[in-house]
Each structure stands twice: as structure tokens, then as C-alpha cells.
């Protein structure tokens, strides 16, 4: 890539050409010369790279991830002007023509037009220069609220059930239904991750199969989002995660729901779901290419032990590694026919056991940080023997959430639940502290009603 001085020169030429266009008429030789100089340098630079992305971040100007030295007032003025107009980013793609640069400079200089710059560029056929905000996916500040989030979640579970039955009947699952639901879940992962994760924490005993599909999708997208993936790739991850176990449509129910340990033969039958899943997904139209890969790989561990066996050398896809963490986490904490659900703390202990090679340890550490010890929506027992619902996490100390006390020490419901910060010491009395997570069913409390 070009050196900083050349990139600095690029922004200067852009600023100079724009300044020229502000002062003189478009046909003035000075304006032409400014555009020529800019076009020449763009051309040279675009021989080495596909695109030039100029970002204006606070007082800094960044070109293709290289920060330019803070310097001359001319550049600072240009940057300030763009910032005021909420232009944080200018991208110039390879193939840009001089006419496009000329139009861009003239439109940028025209501050009187009532139309947005991006609209004008589009109308004038400028295809290779785009302007915008730094963050493509701005998360709107308003959160949709628990009721709305729950509705999306429930629709997702219903859609998962439909997809399952279609696949079971031997038909191709409808990719559009799946896409729609992934779209709303992906948006919620950006807008209101906390509420969505709280929903995944509710144990549902009746339809584990479908809630598991949705939970793994949500937990995977939350991880991917935290790794800064967004847009179509984020959705592909969510899609692949949703379908990871689809091969189980071929697993006989007596094996799938067997309360006891599987025999060797039954285990072999169960293992078949990874191969079956890959087949089903490969022949489903519009399925992202990632989906069969993840279905095939999701029971492989980091050292390629697990199943399917004898697959030769390969490195697991990032999406697989994310999905397998979400998969095991959700399976462990959900109550199944043969086992009670586990508190999230227990789950965390199991998953972080002696750097198990089952998971990518870096991703696992990030996951535990993401989910927290006592996620919002968790029921907890306090040192005072009172029962409370976690309503906020402490920004830095996962052991000290804000809770709402809903049962007194005798187990009686509290009419007006008391909100307590377990990080505060309280006046003289022993401070509140969280002792452990409690299974909502064991105490017959629906934590959602308190959020
Ligand atoms: Fe599986
Ligand atoms: Fe699974």
C-alpha cells in the first residue's frame, strides 16, 4: 500500500479541487486542473488497491486504515467541513472515471442544493464514489421493548418448527421464511441484545428442538456481532446456526428423546445427523454455502476429534467454532428429558474446564464475557435468602448485578419488588450479594414479568 505521504497528498488534492470548485465556475481551468491532479493520483493508487476509503474521525483523517499526521489547517478545514455535513467516509472504487471525480468535486462544493449529496451523486450516475457514515449498521438508540422482542422470538420459534417439519417431510425448507426471521433477529441482536439473550435463557421444556434452533442462532449472531461482523455475513452466520441440527429430522424419535445413555449403535445413528444435515442443506436452494459446512462440522472439536470421524485435515470454519460454543451452552442449560437444566454459573464452569480443546479458547473467553455470569433475566438467590431477578449487569463486575427482589426470605411474593444494586454496601447492614442462580421452574417464577 502507498505510504502515508502519498495518501496525505490524495486528501490534499481532493480538498484543493473542492476548494477550487467552490471559488470558480466549473469550466475554469483551475477547477479542471484540480480534478486532473486528483484523478491522476486516484488512478495510480487504485492500481495497487481495490478501493480508497477516506474516513474523517474526530480530528483524524484515515485513509485505508492509515492515519494521516494531524497537520495543516487546509486539511483540518476540509475535514471539519465534511464532519459538519455528517460525511464521515468517502470511498472511491477502482474503475472510477475522471468525469465521476469531477461531478463529485462539483457536487461536494455545491452547498446550496436542497438534495443530499448521496442522492445527487446517484442521480448523476456516479457509481464508483460513495459517501456515508463510518458505521454501516447504526444501531438505533431506541430499544423495541421486551414485548416486541418476545414477539419476534416466538415467531422465530414457530418458523423454526415449520422449517423442521418441511425438512422432515423430505421437502426443501422455505429459505424465504427463514431469511425473514433471521433478518429480524439480526436486527434485534444489534438493537436489544440483552432482552433477546434473556429470552434464550428461559427454559422451555415442551419444544426444545425449535427453541434450540433459535437460541443457537441468536447466541451465534451475538458472538459474531461482538466480533464486528455485520450485514449479510452476520445473517449467514445466523442462518447456518439456525439449521445446524436439521439432519436430526432423520434421527428416530426413540433415539432423539431417549432418557438414558445411548448404546453404541444408537450413538452411531445419532451421529449421522451431521452428514444428513449437510446433504439436506446442500440441496436447499438459496441456502448460504456456510450452512452445510457448519452442519457437517459442528460436533468436531478443535483437535478434530468428535464426529464425523476420519475427515482428514481441515481447519474449522469460524462460524462452526462460534456455533459449537452456542450449541453446547444452550444444550447444557436447557432442561432435557434426561437431565435438569443447569444454572448459568454451572454451565460456565463446565465450559471453561481446563482449557477444553472442544472450543476455540479465545472465542470461548469472549463468549463468557458476552453472556456474563448472571445475565439479565436470571433468577438468583441472595445471601439474605431472598430471591431476585437480574435486571441490569454491572458494567465491569459480573458478580454484582442490579437485581429486583421478588420473594422475601420466607419465600413469599413481594408486592412491590425492591430494586437493589448489589455493588452498594447499604447503610450499615450486611450488603446484598448474589449467591447462585436459581432455576425459575423450581420456584415457579417467570422472570420475564419483572423486566
Ligand atoms: Fe448437533
Ligand atoms: Fe445442537
pLDDT digits (tens, 9 = 90+) for 219-247: 999 999 988 898 999 999 999 999 999 99
Q: Which domain holds residue 403?
A: 379-450
What SS3 state is found at 116?
Answer: coil
* Residues 114 and 248 reside in one and the same domain: no
- Return the pLDDT at 139: 46
Per-chain mean pLDDT for the chain: 85
> In this structure, is residue 9 part of a structural domain?
yes
Q: Which residue, 370, 394, 426, sits at the end of a domain?
A: 370
Summarised one tens digit per residue, pLDDT across range 82-130 is 877 778 889 898 889 999 999 999 999 988 887 888 888 888 889 889 8
Going from the Cα of 313 to the center of ligand 2, the distance in angstroms, rounded, reads 23
**Over pLDDT 90: what percentage of the chain?**
39
Asked if residue 141 is part of any domain, the answer here is no
Ligand 2 center to 331 CA (angstroms): 7
Indicate whether 208 and 97 sit together in one domain. Answer: no
On whether the CB atoms of residues 42 and 92 are closer than 8 A, the answer is yes
Residues 323 and 244 reside in one and the same domain: yes
pLDDT at 429 over 80: no
Where a domain ends, among 132, 165, 188? 132
Over pLDDT 70: what percentage of the chain?
A: 87
318 and 202 in one domain? Answer: yes
Cα 61 to ligand 2 centroid, rounded to whole Å: 46
Same domain, 185 and 116: no
Bigger pLDDT: 212 vs 393? 212
* Residue 195, C-alpha cell as written in the block: 432482552
Q: What is the predicted pLDDT for the residue at 320?
A: 97
pLDDT band at 141 (very low <50, low <70, confident <90, very high): very low
User: If you ran DSSP here, which 8-state letter would residue 205 be given?
Assistant: S
Residues 117-135 have pLDDT tens digits of 888 888 888 988 988 766 5
Q: Which ligand is nearest to the CA of 330?
A: 2
On whether both 240 and 345 belong to a single domain, the answer is yes
In this structure, the answer to whether residues 316 and 360 fall within a common structural domain is yes
| Domain shared by 229 and 364, yes or no | yes
Domain boundary among 370, 403, 423: 370
Confidence class of residue 144 from pLDDT cuts 50, 70 and 90?
confident
Average pLDDT over residues 428-438: 72
Which pLDDT score is estimated for 10? Answer: 93
DSSP string over 238-290: HHHHHTTTGGGGGS-HHHHT-SSPPPHHHHHHHHTHHHHHHHHHHTSTT--TH
162 in the same domain as 286: yes
Residue 176 has a pLDDT of: 86
Together in a domain, 349 and 224: yes
pLDDT in tens, 330-355: 887 765 544 555 666 666 666 666 65
H or E segment and range at residue 151:
helix 146-168
For residues 69 and 168, state if they share a domain. no
Ligand nearest to the CA of 219: 2
CA of 272 to the centre of ligand 1 (A): 10
Residue 137: pLDDT over 50: no
| pLDDT value of position 173 | 80
**Cα–ligand 2 centroid distance for 380 (angstroms):** 27
Task: Based on the fold, state whether residues 64 and 95 are members of the same structural domain.
Answer: yes
> Is 384 domain-assigned?
yes
Number of independent structural domains in the chain: 3
Amino acid at each position: 500500500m502507498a505510504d502515508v505521504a502519498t495518501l496525505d497528498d490524495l486528501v490534499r488534492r481532493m480538498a484543493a479541487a473542492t476548494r477550487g470548485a467552490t471559488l470558480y465556475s466549473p469550466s475554469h481551468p483551475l477547477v479542471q486542473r484540480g480534478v486532473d491532479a486528483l484523478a491522476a493520483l486516484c488512478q495510480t493508487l487504485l492500481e495497487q488497491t481495490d478501493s480508497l476509503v477516506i474516513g474523517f474521525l474526530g480530528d483524524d483523517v484515515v485513509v485505508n486504515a492509515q492515519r494521516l499526521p494531524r497537520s495543516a489547517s487546509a486539511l483540518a478545514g476540509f475535514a471539519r467541513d465534511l464532519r459538519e455535513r455528517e460525511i464521515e467516509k468517502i470511498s472511491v472504487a477502482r474503475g472510477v472515471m475522471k468525469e465521476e471525480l469531477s461531478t463529485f468535486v462539483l457536487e461536494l462544493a455545491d452547498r446550496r442544493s436542497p438534495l443530499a449529496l448521496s442522492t445527487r451523486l446517484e442521480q448523476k450516475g456516479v457509481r464508483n464514489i460513495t459517501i456515508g457514515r463510518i458505521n454501516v449498521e447504526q444501531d438505533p438508540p431506541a430499544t423495541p421493548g421486551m414485548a416486541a422482542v418476545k414477539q419476534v422470538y416466538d415467531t422465530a420459534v414457530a418458523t423454526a418448527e415449520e422449517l423442521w417439519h418441511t425438512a422432515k417431510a423430505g421437502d426443501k425448507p422455505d429459505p424465504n421464511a427463514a431469511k425473514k426471521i433471521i433478518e429480524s433477529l439480526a436486527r434485534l441482536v444489534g438493537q436489544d441484545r440483552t432482552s433477546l439473550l434473556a429470552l434464550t435463557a428461559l427454559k422451555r421444556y415442551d419444544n426444545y428442538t425449535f427453541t434450540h434452533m433459535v437460541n443457537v442462532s441468536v447466541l451465534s449472531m451475538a458472538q459474531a456481532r461482538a466480533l464486528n461482523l455485520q450485514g449479510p455475513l452476520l445473517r449467514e452466520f445466523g442462518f447456518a446456526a439456525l439449521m445446524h441440527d436439521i439432519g436430526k429430522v432423520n434421527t428416530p424419535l426413540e433415539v432423539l428423546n431417549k432418557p438414558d445413555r445411548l448404546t453404541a449403535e444408537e450413538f452411531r445413528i445419532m451421529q449421522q445427523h451431521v452428514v444428513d444435515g449437510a446433504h439436506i442443506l446442500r440441496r436447499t436452494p438459496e441456502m448460504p454455502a456456510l450452512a452445510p459446512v457448519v452442519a457437517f462440522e459442528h460436533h468436531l472439536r478443535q483437535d478434530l476429534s468428535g464426529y464425523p470421524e476420519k475427515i482428514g485435515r481441515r481447519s474449522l470454519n469460524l462460524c462452526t467454532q462460534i456455533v459449537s460454543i452456542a450449541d453446547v451452552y444452550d444444550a447444557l442449560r436447557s432442561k432435557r428429558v434426561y437431565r435438569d437444566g443447569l444454572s448459568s454459573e454451572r454451565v460456565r464452569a463446565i465450559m471453561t474446564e481446563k482449557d477444553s480443546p472442544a472450543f476455540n479458547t479465545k472465542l470461548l473467553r469472549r463468549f463468557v464475557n458476552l453472556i456474563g455470569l448472571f445475565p439479565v433475566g436470571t433468577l438468583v438467590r441472595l445471601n439474605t435468602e431472598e430471591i431476585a431477578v437480574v435486571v441490569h449487569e454491572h458494567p465491569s463486575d459480573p458478580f454484582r448485578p442490579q437485581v429486583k427482589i421478588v420473594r422475601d426470605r420466607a419465600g413469599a411474593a413481594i408486592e412491590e419488588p425492591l430494586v437493589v444494586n448489589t455493588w452498594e454496601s447499604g447503610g450499615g447492614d450486611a450488603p446484598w450479594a448474589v449467591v447462585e442462580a436459581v432455576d425459575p421452574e423450581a420456584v415457579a417464577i417467570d422472570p420475564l414479568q419483572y423486566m
